[in-house]
Amino acid sequence: MAKVSKLLFDSSAITKLYCYENGSNIVDYWLKEHNKNKRREETLIFYLPNICVVEIMKAICDKYQEKVGLKDVSYLNMIATFLKDLETSKYYSICNISMSYLVYTKDVIEHMYNEFKEDILSPIDALILAKAYHMKQKDSNLYVAADDRNLQLVGVKLGLNIINPRDIKTIPQALRPPQFLK
C-alpha cells in the first residue's frame, strides 16, 4: 500500500502553477501527475491555507504586470483559472486557519525572535507555519512547499519538513518527478 504524505502549500509555491517560473514544472507535476502514477511509493494530499488566497491573487497580478506591463490584463485569466480551481477543489483542499492558531502563531513568532533576533516573517507566514506545526504533530508525513527563504528558515528551525520547488535537493526522492530520479 502506498504511503500517504500531505503537502501544505505556501502562496510562494502554489503561484508557480499559474505563473511560469523556476520551479513551476515541479509544482505542476505534483498537482497534475504525481498521483496518476500507480507505481509511485507515495500518494500526496494537497492543502492550501485559506489565508493564502488573496496573497496568491496579488502575486499573480504582480508577476504578470512585472513581465508584460500594467496595460496588459491577461493576468485576469490566470486569476479566473485559480478561482475556478479553488471552486472545484481541482487540485487541493482548502484548510482553514482559525482563531485557535493564533496561540500557535505566538509560539512561532517567539521562536523566530529567539533564533534570529529579528522579525523575518510576515504575519501570514507565521500563521501558515503555526498551522503546519500543528498538522505535523498529528502526522509526521507533512511537507511544507515554499519558495520563501524566511519561511523556510523558520520552518526548518521548528522541525518542519520544508521543500522548495526551485531546489531539487530539498525534495525527497519519493516526491520527485521521474526526470529527477537517480
- For the chain, the domains span 3-180
Distance of CA 168 to the CA centre of its chain: 15
Closest CA to 152 of 175, 118, 113, 120: 120
pLDDT given at position 68: 64
Local confidence band at 1 (pLDDT 50, 70, 90 cut-offs): very low
Burial (0-12, 13-18, 19+ Cβ within 10 Å), 154: buried
The residue that leads in pLDDT, 124 or 162, is 162
The residue that leads in pLDDT, 177 or 115, is 177
The answer to whether residue 39 scores a pLDDT higher than 60 is no
Sign for the pseudo-dihedral over CA of 117, 119, 121, 124: positive
pLDDT given at position 90: 79
**Side chain identity, residue 157:** K
Sign for the pseudo-dihedral over CA of 44, 9, 22, 166: negative
Q: How many Cα atoms are found within 13 Å in the side-chain-facing hemisphere of 82?
A: 23
CATH code at 3-180: 3.40.50.1010
Q: Decide the pairing of beta strands 142-145 and 3-9.
A: parallel
The answer to whether residue 74 scores a pLDDT higher than 60 is yes
What value does the mean pLDDT of the chain take? 83
Report percent pLDDT > 70 for the chain. 91
- What integer is the mean pLDDT of 123-132? 89
pTM of the model: 0.85
pLDDT given at position 167: 93
Q: Where are the beta strands (DSSP E) in the chain?
A: 3-9, 42-49, 93-95, 142-145, 161-163
The residue that leads in pLDDT, 99 or 71, is 99
Euclidean distance between CA atoms 116 and 108, whole angstroms: 12
If you search the block for the grid coordinates 526522492, which residue do you land on? 173
